[in-house]
Structure 1
Amino acid sequence: MSTRVGRALRAIGVSVAIAVVGVGAAAAPAQAASRDGVCDSGEFCYYYNSDFAGSVSDHGSSLADYGATQPTCYEFKSAGNGQGVCVKNNAASAWNRTGSTIRVYYNSDFGGATQDIASGAKVNLNATLKNNNASHQPAPTGGGGSYPAKDDYPYRGQTTGVDPWNFYKGQCTSFAAWAVRSRLDVAFHNYYDGVHWGNANNWANAARSAGIPVYGSPKAGDVAVRLGGTFGHVAFVTRVNSNGTFEVDEYNYNGGSAYSHRTVSVGTANSQFSQFIRFK
């Protein structure tokens, strides 16, 4: 009896071992196919050299940070010049085989200067992005091409009291709320979607709580958010320029509850903005 049991157990053990080996053997090719250094249909691919030469790094989804060191970075996979090098800040050309326009960013987390690469296009990265590529995603949609710069705020010159959407008059939050309401036709207020928006430096988190997307780069129609300072600052993005800068309408930037229009860049300095709320 014990001999038969032993034989049965040994047989089961052999079967399990074979099954485990079989599963492992089947899984390996699937993983390799996801990033194998071949630019397959549906992938966005970087090349180490210009004119689509050198090693290839193929990607099937958006990436906010490629990583900067081995062994954790996304690297160039195929044989050729640059194989094994981290792709961050080392790509010179790209092929977009996805069905969407892909936006390449100078900074991680989708920030800084950008270059849009149309579906199906093979391009050299421009002088700003060549060897300065840090993230990519489908180019965000929504918002208009541009909005005219204008001081259409109905409470200009007023510095006391609360506006109809429950922000203090003359403050950046009141003007930004007015811009969202009047230019985007969104019935925004201080408790929009059941969330208390409050001071400017709370707006990005409030938007996330309300399910409104927040990006690291601007599009016309966004509300730009500066997190720094006691209260932060918000402004309405009127235009995005080809060099990565953008223009904003705002109130109370330099105090005095006054209107201003200026050209700015993405960043964390007091003159910059780092988060962008996309109502539309």
Structure 2
Amino acid sequence: MSGRVGRALRAVGVTIAIAVSGVGISATPAQAASRDGVCDSGEFCYYYNSDFAGSISDHGSSLADYGATQPTCYEFKSAGNGQGLCVKNNAASAWNRTGSTIRVYYNSDFGGTSQDIASGAKVNLNASLKNNNASHQPVSAGGGDSYPAKDDYPYRGQTTGVDPWNFYKGQCTSFAAWAVRSRLGVAFHNYYDGVHWGNANNWANAARSAGIPVYGSPKAGDVAVRLGGTWGHVAFVTRVNSNGTFEVDEYNYNGGSAYSHRTVSVGTANSQFSQFVRFK
């Protein structure tokens, strides 16, 4: 899988290649040979251009560091726009042909803003990750999913103005929209699927109008909705615990347009959530 290993083998022999693999390159020579610019079954592939056009760079399911310069970087392999360029910060779309959801990260070593790409999906990278891709790895599927708790909101500290998704900055709705976009890879906005989502207490009904399922129990990746209060409240579910409680990332829960992460339960009290919008 590693173009770097392949080049090392050709240039300086097997001894050096083995030494390189001893410091963190996990690809075997057989895997390295399979990086041929063809997106085969079992591979995760980047395209240089949007809409699955341009040169292809095919990979295994996990890679922590693409490298930033030739001749040591992972490069686009096939003919077309971008051939020979480093993959890092140069990809615009992707095809996931592995059996797992793949999470693409803004930083190397699986850090920063991320976008999840379901098994079999062909997607354009979102605005945060397009030409800003630095690592990727599989994430668990189903009820065992979890998302790291993090305050990655791009408008933290701002309490006026409207975000690019047409929600007020610093509000719970703006942060939840950001989380759906950056963590789930769904291009959500205030008029998503032709429906006006509006205040938090309208999100469950808006989801139903848009044909998006709403449940009475949470799953990681859901948007949790509290219906009570003047405006309601929404938060992003990061984890469901074995005892039935769940954890959320949120903004403006206690006012002040601030981030918080807490463990909560299903219910109708002001500290709880009763509806769960499932975008994925």
Instruction: Say if 1:225 and 1:273, in contact at 8 Å, map to a contact too.
Output: yes
Instruction: Say if 1:143 and 1:221, in contact at 8 Å, map to a contact too.
Output: no
TM-score, with normalisation over the residues of structure 2? Answer: 0.50
Instruction: Say if 1:75 and 1:84, in contact at 8 Å, map to a contact too.
Output: yes
Cα offset, 1:119, TM superposition: 23
Cα offset, 1:126, TM superposition: 43
> 1:139-188 deviations in whole A, cap 9, x for unaligned?
99857610000000000000000000000000000000000000000000
Please, which runs of 5 or more residues in structure 2 have no aligned partner?
A: none
The more displaced of 88-97 and 183-192 is 88-97
Q: Rate the CA distance shift 1:8–1:31 in 2: closer, same or farther, 3 A.
A: closer
Distance in 2, matches of 1:271 and 1:130, equals 37
Instruction: Say if 2:42 and 2:97, in contact at 8 Å, map to a contact too.
Output: yes
Instruction: Say if 1:112 and 1:265, in contact at 8 Å, map to a contact too.
Output: no
Instruction: Say if 2:244 and 2:265, in contact at 8 Å, map to a contact too.
Output: yes
Cα offset, 1:88, TM superposition: 56
Instruction: Say if 1:113 and 1:243, in contact at 8 Å, map to a contact too.
Output: no
Q: Rate the CA distance shift 1:20–1:52 in 2: closer, same or farther, 3 A.
A: closer
Instruction: Say if 1:110 and 1:216, in contact at 8 Å, map to a contact too.
Output: no
Q: Rate the CA distance shift 1:242–1:124 in 2: closer, same or farther, 3 A.
A: farther
- Please give the secondary structure, in 2, of the residue aligned with 1:79: coil
Aligned-pair identity in percent equals 93
- Please give the secondary structure, in 1, of the residue aligned with 2:22: helix
Cα offset, 1:14, TM superposition: 95
The runs of at least 4 aligned residues of structure 1 exceeding 4 Å deviation read 1-144
Instruction: Say if 2:181 and 2:187, in contact at 8 Å, map to a contact too.
Output: yes
- Indicate the RMSD between aligned Cα atoms, in angstroms: 18.2
> 1:70-125 deviations in whole A, cap 9, x for unaligned?
99999999999999999999999999999999999999999999999999999999
1:4-15 mapped onto 2 (5 Å cutoff): none
Q: Rate the CA distance shift 1:187–1:79 in 2: closer, same or farther, 3 A.
A: closer
Q: Rate the CA distance shift 1:37–1:204 in 2: closer, same or farther, 3 A.
A: farther
TM-score, with normalisation over the residues of structure 1? Answer: 0.50
Instruction: Say if 1:110 and 1:215, in contact at 8 Å, map to a contact too.
Output: no
Instruction: Say if 1:113 and 1:245, in contact at 8 Å, map to a contact too.
Output: no
The more displaced of 11-20 and 230-239 is 11-20
Cα offset, 1:20, TM superposition: 84
The more displaced of 11-20 and 129-138 is 11-20
Q: Rate the CA distance shift 1:131–1:263 in 2: closer, same or farther, 3 A.
A: farther
